[in-house]
Amino acid sequence: MHHPGETKKTDFLVDTDYFMAVAVLSAQRSKDPNTQVGACLVNQDNKIVGTGHNCMPNDCEGKLPWNREGAKLDTKYIYVCHAELNAIVNASANADVKGCTMYVTLFPCNECAKLIIQAGLKEVVYLCDKYHARPETIASKKMLDRAGIPYSGWEVLSNIVFILDSIRLSDTTLRESSSIPTTLLALRISLLSLLASATLSLLPQHATA
């Protein structure tokens, strides 16, 4: 309840921005030298039930190639587990992924679209669609359309500044703790630059396959 004279906080981080920010941060865990993708799975109560990033199968990290070119068996493509797959299988044991929304930094490929449909997810929110002309992406949209699963692009440009701003420690926090640990300040700075560079690198105009 809002009482007269009370200051109402209006600069809170909205849910969709938070979930996409988590997906962006998850992408940073990827060891793929070229493409880092992150996903965040959210249930109908707006709770995160799983996150994922593109990685090699368990216990295979460092033992399989990240190459994009060469003989098929020497490239990453036939080995890598996509972020969406990992978010679904990483979902906490008691979580029901049915009806969840997938927040993902890159539009799901055809294989992930199959997973999304078969797992019973209800919506996809993506950050970047730089491979929209590829058959895999076209097939993905075809399947999602047929399955009645809507997908929408996250409003990057209107929200990124706000997200970055939200990560900053508030002025009050800084004032009240005169001995604020330098590690905390360093963490804040690295988080800011991380999120900024990650998000910018995911924007279509900065895309380099």
Residue 112 interacts with Zn ion (CB under 5 A)?
Answer: yes
- The CB-of-128 to Zn ion minimum distance in angstroms stands at 13
Among the residue ranges 42-50, 77-85, 122-130, 184-192, the one whose residues contact Zn ion (CB under 5 A): 77-85
Measured from the CB atom, is 76 or 82 closer to Zn ion? 82
Query: Does residue 130 bind Zn ion (CB under 5 A)?
Result: no
Give which of 154, 169, 159, 33 is closest to 105, Cα–Cα: 154
Q: Which amino acid belongs to residue 91?
A: A
Tell me the Ramachandran region of residue 99: left when phi exceeds 0, alpha when psi lies from -120 to 50, beta otherwise: left
Q: How many residues bind Zn ion (CB under 5 A)?
A: 3
- From the list 28-36, 61-69, 78-86, 126-134, the region that binds Zn ion by CB under 5 A is 78-86
- CB-neighbour burial class of residue 41 (10 A; exposed 0-12, middle 13-18, buried 19+): buried
What is the Cα–Cα distance from 207 to 203, expressed in whole angstroms? 6
Which residues belong to the active site? 84
From candidates 20, 48, 87, 109, binder to Zn ion by CB under 5 A? 109
Question: 40: alpha, beta or left, given left = phi > 0 and alpha = psi -120 to 50?
Answer: beta
The correct pick among 36, 82, 198, 199 for binding Zn ion (CB under 5 A) is 82
Shortest gap between Cβ of 88 and Zn ion (angstroms)? 11
Interface with Zn ion (CB under 5 A): 82, 109, 112
